[in-house]
């Protein structure tokens, strides 16, 4: 395989992986379990999530496309493209928040409506201000605002990378990560920009230096590479089994109470909004292992699931936006009720089919960012 083909292969793997992440995000947002899908989603209860993987991959691809690929072009071109993209995502996020809020007001008594809709109804001035300043967010496309913020600061990051100052970018990103407890916004999803930017900008660095990292890795002895990969994958498998047992094993009579107490003791070390060091380490291990799995079995995965994962992965932001509508309205229809597994499976498959149909038919794709 020549260098160009190898590079294309790796992009192909990233698209497959991003498609998988989006599929899991869709199913976990819908959250109609048990359905059989919980075996591949973890029901969003595990100590790390595919959302983090989505942001890391977004940073990697951006580092490749707007960083390394445009290295011989004027910096102004890359900066202009990034700022236009940021504005596009900001506007899309704002429109979706207003739209979902108004719809939510009409279904405020529906048990399936997403929690957190703006109250009291009618204070339009405060609603508009808080939405425009990203202090209020509603719907199932909440990560668009984070992505818009991160891309807005990406021109500065790309400038530093062009100068070879990747360590300054990484140090600054880590410094901002430490500011999370001092955020002026309430703790939780509205302060996520301080913590989650670390994942995105780390991905940006990796994407910018993708070729160099790959060259360095292939220069290592085969035996060393095998030992490193085997170690990471083995640790990932053990921690995944342990994590699944802690989270889902509370119903086991003999050890359930013990596992529940462990979960309570460990949960603060793996908080999704704060992204403490243990969660970052676990995410890094699981992401590398999952990337290796998709790279190792790229052909069979493409043959069996490429028809679904590749359209999702190559139209990631469009897919993410469409799933927000599908999840919102399906939950209004079916409400937040317990259903038998076959009903849950039918609803989940219907959601996948609707999003897939939208992607394949390019429904509103000229309006919604890809």
Asked if residue 166 belongs to a domain, the reply is yes
* Residue 207 belongs to domain spanning: 3-222+306-361
Task: Calculate the alpha carbon distances from 180 to 50, 138, 187, 208, 294 in Å.
Answer: 21, 21, 8, 26, 33
DSSP state letter for 64:
I
Please state, in angstroms and rounded to a whole number, the distance separating the CA atoms of residues 304 and 364: 28
Distance between CA atoms of residues 96 and 369, nearest Å: 12
Nearest to 49 by CA among 222, 256, 240: 240
pLDDT at 184: 66
**Is the residue at 317 inside a domain?**
yes
pLDDT for the residue numbered 352 = 97
What letter would DSSP give residue 135? S
pLDDT tens-place string over residues 27-52 = 999 988 889 998 889 888 899 999 99
Dist CA 261 CA 268 (whole Å): 13
Tens of pLDDT, residue by residue over 144-184, are: 999 999 999 999 999 999 999 999 999 999 999 998 777 66
Which DSSP helix (H) or strand (E) runs through 51?
helix 50-62
Report the domain count for the chain.
1
Cα 77 from chain centre: 27
Q: Is residue 237 part of a domain?
A: no
Instruction: Flag whether 236 is in a domain.
Output: no
Report the pLDDT value the prediction gives residue 189, as an integer from 0 to 100: 62
Residue 285 included in any domain? no
pTM: 0.93
- pLDDT tens for residues 38-87? 888 988 889 999 999 999 999 999 999 999 999 999 999 999 999 999 99
Instruction: Tell me which residues of the chain have a pLDDT lower than 70.
Output: 1-10, 122, 183-190
Q: Residue 163 domain-assigned?
A: yes
Q: Is residue 246 part of a domain?
A: no
Element (H, E) at 281: helix 277-296
Asked if residue 256 is part of any domain, the answer here is no
In this prediction, residue 44 carries a pLDDT of: 87
- Residue 61 has φ and ψ, to the nearest 5°, of -65, -40
């Amino acid at each position: 395989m020549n260098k160009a083909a190898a590079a294309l292969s790796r992009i192909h793997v990233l698209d497959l992986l991003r498609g998988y992440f989006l599929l899991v995000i869709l199913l976990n947002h819908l959250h109609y379990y048990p359905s059989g899908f919980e075996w591949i989603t973890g029901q969003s209860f595990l100590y790390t999530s595919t959302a983090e993987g989505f942001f890391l991959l977004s940073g990697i691809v951006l580092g490749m496309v707007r960083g390394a690929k445009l290295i011989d072009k004027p910096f102004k071109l890359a900066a202009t493209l990034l700022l236009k993209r940021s504005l596009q995502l900001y506007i899309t996020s704002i429109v979706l928040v207003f739209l979902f809020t108004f719809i939510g007001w009409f279904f405020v008594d529906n048990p399936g409506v997403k929690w957190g809709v703006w109250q009291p109804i009618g204070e339009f001035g405060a609603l508009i201000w808080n939405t425009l300043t990203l202090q209020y967010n509603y719907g199932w496309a909440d990560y668009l605002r984070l992505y818009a913020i991160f891309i807005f600061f990406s021109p500065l990051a790309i400038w530093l990378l062009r100068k070879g100052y990747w360590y300054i970018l990484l140090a600054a990103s880590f410094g901002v990560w430490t500011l999370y407890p001092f955020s002026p916004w309430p703790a939780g999803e509205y302060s996520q920009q301080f913590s989650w930017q670390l994942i995105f900008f780390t991905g940006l660095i990796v994407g910018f230096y993708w070729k160099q990292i790959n060259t360095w890795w292939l220069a290592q002895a085969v035996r060393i590479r095998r030992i490193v990969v085997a170690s990471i994958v083995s640790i990932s498998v053990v921690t995944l089994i342990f994590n699944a047992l802690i989270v889902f094993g509370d119903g086991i009579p003999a050890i359930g109470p013990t596992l529940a107490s462990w979960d309570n003791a460990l949960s603060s070390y793996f908080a999704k909004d704060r992204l403490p060091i243990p969660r970052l380490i676990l995410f890094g291990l699981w992401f590398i292992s999952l990337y290796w799995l998709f790279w190792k079995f790229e052909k069979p995965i493409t043959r069996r699931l490429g028809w679904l994962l590749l359209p999702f992965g190559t139209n990631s932001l469009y897919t993410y936006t469409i799933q927000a509508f599908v999840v919102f309205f399906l939950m209004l229809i079916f409400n937040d009720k317990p259903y038998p597994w076959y009903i849950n499976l039918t609803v989940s498959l219907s959601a996948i089919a609707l999003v897939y149909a939208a992607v394949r038919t390019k429904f509103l794709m000229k309006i919604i960012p890809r």
